[in-house]
Structure 1
Amino acid sequence: MPLSRRRLLQSLGAAAGLAGLGAAGVALVDAEVLPGRSVLNQALGRCDARPPDAPRAPAPPPVTGSFRSAARRRQVGFAIAYPPGYAPGARLPVCLALHGYAADARTAVDAAGYPEFLVGDGSGSRRGVGRAELAKALPHGGAPFVLAAPDGGDGYWHPHSDDDPLGMLVDEFLPLLAERGLRTDRVAVAGWSMGGYGALVAALTYPGRFRAVVATSPAIFHSYDDAKRVNAGAFDSAAEWGRYDVTARAREFADMPVRIAIGAADPFAKAVRTLRDRLPDPGTVEISTGCHDNDFWRSVAPGQVRAISAALAG
């Protein structure tokens, strides 16, 4: 990936600052004993996730709205992103999209550009994507799908005493999508960061409900104390943490259609490696160059879209 002049100067400046620490100091930064690991990762190219190598087409603006959620005890916003060539009323299968911390439904449907890669219906050729490339966009017999996201708050998508975003997702949002003509008998779930963790919790809570479960950069913690230190509102108690500890429940993912992707320089990578080592199929987890950012999420999006499309077909 070519470096811009600005990026080069930033990298040189960061490197100069790190060099001033000496080798021992840099090692402490890398071990997160001293602050500055994100700067180090940038300077060393650890965040240089490969750009998508797939045909893309402009997707229509998402449809937005809101509904009253009994499970969340509040008004909840939502966004529905249709693939290129489709509009409201199309009878398509659904991939639920779970947003990250301090984000919302609109952020979720924009996070990795999923709809841009759903160009296998022929509309891509009308938008500058060649027909030869269309065959690469979706697998043979794959299904275009909508990406549908509700606002889940900042509670890590599991039920709390006064807020149940997971119950809202399955018991309220899916029926709303069905009322709009969407195929809620064929559903996948995908999430990023906090939403990646939420996708895994959804799979454990509703086994057999989802045809594909995709967790990108899932925000997985080593322990309740670790979670509380990073985000005090993630879990209400140690007991609640224990109920939704996906690592402790790793064996339950056996035979589930789960895919996990994370950047090697992501701060959650170590915890994800621990989960990987306990999974029935460690090959479920893909670790590659990247950080905890949208560049990485978009870099893995084409393969994820193809996998979801294949799972939702038929």
Structure 2
Amino acid sequence: MALSRRALLGTGVAVGVAAVAGLETGLIPGRARVHDVFGLTGPDGVVPDVPAGPVVSGTFESFGRRTTVGYSILYPDGYQASDALPVALVLHGRGGDHTSAVRDLGIDRYLTAAVQAGSPPFALATVDGGPDTYWHRRVTDEDPGFMIDQEFLPLLANRGLDTARYGVFGWSMGGYGALLYTALHAWQRRVRPGMRAVAVAALSPAVWRRYEDVAPGAFDSREDFEGGQLFGRQVSLQDVAVRIDCGRDDPFAKAAARLRTELGAAGGQQAGAHTHGYWRRMLPAQLAFLGGRLRH
């Protein structure tokens, strides 16, 4: 028996509604792509048309990383490299290095814009954490956290930066690393109170709830994953201001939202995906958050 035109239309509408529901709930893959096509992931951030400030770059031999490490210190326009500004560490994403924050995000100009908009002035210090270390100690004994704590922070202090109260910022792999480093080293600051992280801001942190879901190479074993788990670390971060932002079409959105709730963190879930455009759009809010909390 042939279906009537009305029945066919009704069937088509029902299928369409089911497909939309499947996309929105994640049962059908491709939501991020569909949202991108229809402009639902939000506009890309545009690097501010302001001058970049002074940059000091160099290298050091790192025992923690077992290699030569590059770094850059970025100052807002109008300040000198000799100014004793507070500092926020910058931890890059997977496949990146200390140049990625400027090359991919234009963070040097965002820093100037943040200060021009009223943020207390501060510097940003980027450093090579390795392309896929996920900023934690690996089975090879490469330890980016040790490098930051025992080598990079003292280097910054020797250059005249104020490291008594510092911030930590990162995106993707570096967002996870920023939160993990701060949590793991927070207890040391109670013993060594002259240098401590007071704020951490993470963009689209690469966090997983289950070991079975992790990206290849992110962890050496299940035990490594459990040791680097961010969930359940509320006590470690209780004295640190935390902000976590993640796009709603990001593969880490659900885990990031759960972590933000667990930590009572600032931030939120906005239109966006795991892209440079989203990260650039969110940089003003993240830098303003850090600058406001680095003020003595």
Interval containing the TM-score (normalised by the shorter chain): 0.7 to 0.9
Aligned residue type for 2:211 = Y
Bigger CA radius of gyration:
2
Equivalent pairs: percent with the same residue? 41
Aligned residue in 1 for 2:33: 39
> 1:225 corresponds to which residue?
212
Alignment of 1:13-52 (within 5 A): 24-25=18-19, 27-30=21-24, 35-49=29-43, 51=45
Q: Deviations over 1:238-295 (max 9, x none)?
A: 111111110232454334211111111111001112223322x2x5241111111122
* Residues 95 and 187 in structure 1, CA contact (< 8 A), matched pair in contact too: yes
Name the CA shift for 1:81/1:184 in 2 (closer, same or farther; >3 Å). Answer: same
The gaps in structure 2 that reach 5 residues or longer are 1-12, 190-195
- Residue identity in the other structure for 1:171: Q
Mind listing any 5+ residue stretches in structure 1 that lack a counterpart?
1-18, 125-133
Determine the structure 1 residue equivalent to 2:127: 150
What root-mean-square deviation, in Å, do the aligned CA atoms of Structure 1 and Structure 2 show? 2.7
Aligned to 2:185: 206
2:249 touches 2:272 (CA, 8 Å); kept in 1?
yes
Q: 2 CA distance for matches of 1:222 and 1:302? A: 29
CA distance in 2 between counterparts of 1:261 and 1:306 reads 13
Q: Please show how residues 1-314 of structure 1 align to structure 2 within 5 Å.
A: 24-25=18-19, 27-30=21-24, 35-49=29-43, 51=45, 57-60=50-53, 62-119=55-112, 134=116, 137-139=117-119, 142=120, 144-153=121-130, 154-162=132-140, 163-207=142-186, 208=189, 209-227=196-214, 231-279=215-263, 281=264, 283-314=265-296
The aligned amino acid for 2:163 is: T
The one-letter code sitting in structure 2 at the alignment partner of 1:223 is: R
Cα gap change, 1:109/1:269 in structure 2, threshold over 3 Å: closer, same or farther?
same
Q: Which runs of 4+ in 1 moved over 6 A?
A: none
Residues 157, 164 of structure 1: 8 Å contact kept: yes
Identify the residue that residue 4 of structure 2 maps to in structure 1.
Answer: none
> Could you tell me how far apart the structure 1 residues matched to 2:170 and 2:69 are?
18
Shift of 1:25: 4.8
**Alignment coverage as a number of residue pairs:** 273
Q: 2:181 corresponds to which letter in structure 1? A: A
Shift of 1:28: 4.6
Q: What is the alpha-carbon distance in structure 1 between the residues aligned to residue 233 and residue 164 of structure 2?
A: 26
| C-alpha spacing 1:308/1:87, structure 2 compared with 1 (3 Å) | same
Look up the match of 2:8.
none
Contact 2:157 2:163 in 1 (8 A): yes
